[in-house]
């Protein structure tokens, strides 16, 4: 790792960079494996939505043109689908970017931001890059502890980030819990609800947060990377009151969402069959894996998402390495300060079986 230039901002020199999951190509190159399955980045094992793929290939002929800055087709379809006004929507280069836009729109250096742990690492990293004071509130039993988060909010708190469901825990905050939290949150503080895994959740007490939008400052973000299978294209969206959207729009780069992502996402929204198939595959895989983990007496966190967090005890990193040698990429969690844990993405049934088989082999040795 190169040393950072001395003229870098002090807050930047202190950052710990995010370390992404290994790409399949990299593992194949490094280990010279012919067949590798990747269950490390919560991608959709079915591939991209076929309708999206067709739209992307068609739109490719026009990539010499700049994208339309306002994402008009995608905006119109999504506004209709969500029953919100078009100016309540903002699009990002993945929903990651919406985190950065919210921070840059609302958080001055010295302001406070409240985040959970373990959770999506970009909230804290980018908040620190903005010079924010970050209060990190541990999850309790792998669930967001909204009471403790409420206690961490001060008059200087501009944003509270809640991943619902959480990544990497896979758990969710209930409607009742969120109601109480939002009722007591000061009106000066914006709640940022990251719902990247929204489409996977079946639980009846999972909150439908768009209902809160008119009541208080709230930003809800979702992604086309997971359930719609478009991680490589980079497109996510935020829903918020138009005045909050206007502030984020002011710091947005004009062509942040590429034209193929716009075409793909707009088509994916119409691909109900693919979404249904994805949800079915995920539910079946989750049931299968949960049952196998129980049999193997591996502690695991009940998940409402397309991934499961495992507590395998000491030697988790070595286990991940042993699985890698068998061509199965899972995520070791030391970057989240969970050295005993692995996170595994639910794949197709053949992938899930191959993972369990490899896991059994590794555990026997």
> Which residues in 139-198 contact a second copy (CB under 8 A)?
158, 188, 190
Q: Which residue, 142 or 221, is less far from a second copy as judged by CB? A: 221
Q: Which residue, 329 or 358, is less far from a second copy as judged by CB? A: 329
* CB of 360 vs a second copy, minimal distance in Å: 27
Q: Which of residues 305-364 bind a second copy (CB under 8 A)?
A: none
Candidates 96-104, 149-157, 317-325, 336-344; binding stretch for a second copy (CB under 8 A): 96-104
* CB of 155 vs a second copy, minimal distance in Å: 12
* CB of 299 vs a second copy, minimal distance in Å: 27
Candidates 15-23, 292-300, 310-318, 341-349; binding stretch for a second copy (CB under 8 A): 15-23
Candidates 137-145, 191-199, 237-245, 353-361; binding stretch for a second copy (CB under 8 A): 237-245
Candidates 89-97, 294-302, 305-313, 352-360; binding stretch for a second copy (CB under 8 A): 89-97
Cα 188 to Cα 344: distance, rounded to the nearest angstrom: 38
213 binds a second copy (CB under 8 A): no
Size of the site for a second copy (CB under 8 A): 92
242 binds a second copy (CB under 8 A): yes
Candidates 202-210, 229-237, 311-319, 345-353; binding stretch for a second copy (CB under 8 A): 229-237
267 binds a second copy (CB under 8 A): no
* CB of 192 vs a second copy, minimal distance in Å: 13
Q: Which two tokens stand for residue 301?
A: 């966190």
Q: Which of residues 101-140 bind a second copy (CB under 8 A)?
A: 104-109, 122, 126, 129, 131
Residue 359 neighbours by CB distance under 10 Å: 25
260, 328, 344, 358: which one contacts a second copy (CB under 8 A)? Answer: 260
């Amino acid at each position: 790792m190169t040393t950072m230039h001395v003229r870098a901002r002090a807050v930047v020199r202190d950052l710990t960079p995010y370390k992404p999951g290994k790409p399949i190509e990299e593992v194949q190159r490094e280990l010279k494996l012919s067949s590798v399955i990747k269950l490390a980045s919560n991608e959709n094992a079915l591939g991209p939505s076929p309708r999206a793929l067709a739209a992307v290939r068609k739109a490719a002929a026009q990539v010499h043109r700049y994208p339309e800055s306002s994402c008009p087709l995608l905006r119109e379809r999504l506004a209709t689908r969500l029953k919100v006004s078009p100016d309540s929507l903002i699009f990002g280069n993945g929903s990651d970017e919406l985190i950065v836009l919210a921070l840059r729109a609302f958080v001055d250096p010295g302001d406070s931001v409240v985040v959970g742990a373990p959770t999506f690492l970009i909230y804290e990293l980018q908040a620190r890059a903005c010079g924010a004071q970050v209060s990190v509130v541990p999850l309790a039993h792998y669930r967001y502890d909204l009471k403790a988060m409420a206690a961490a909010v001060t008059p200087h708190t501009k944003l509270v980030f809640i991943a619902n469901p959480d990544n990497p825990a896979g758990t969710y905050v209930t409607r009742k819990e969120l109601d109480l939290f939002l009722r007591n949150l000061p009106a000066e503080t914006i709640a940022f609800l990251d719902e990247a895994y929204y489409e996977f959740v079946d639980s009846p007490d999972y909150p439908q947060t768009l209902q809160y939008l008119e009541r208080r400052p709230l930003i809800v973000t979702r992604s086309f990377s997971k359930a719609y299978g478009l991680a490589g294209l980079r497109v996510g969206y935020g829903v918020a009151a138009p005045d909050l959207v206007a502030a984020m729009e002011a710091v947005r780069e004009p062509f942040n969402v590429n034209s193929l992502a716009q075409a793909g996402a707009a088509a994916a929204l119409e691909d109900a069959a693919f979404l249904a198939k994805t949800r079915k595959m995920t539910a079946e895989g989750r049931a299968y894996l949960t049952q196998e983990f129980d049999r193997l007496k591996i502690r695991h966190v009940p998940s409402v998402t397309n991934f499961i967090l495992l507590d395998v005890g000491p030697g988790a990193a070595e286990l991940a390495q042993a699985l890698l040698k068998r061509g199965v990429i899972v995520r070791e969690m030391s970057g989240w300060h969970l050295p005993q844990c692995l996170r595994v993405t639910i794949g197709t049934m053949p992938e899930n079986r191959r993972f369990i088989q490899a896991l059994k082999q590794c555990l026997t040795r």
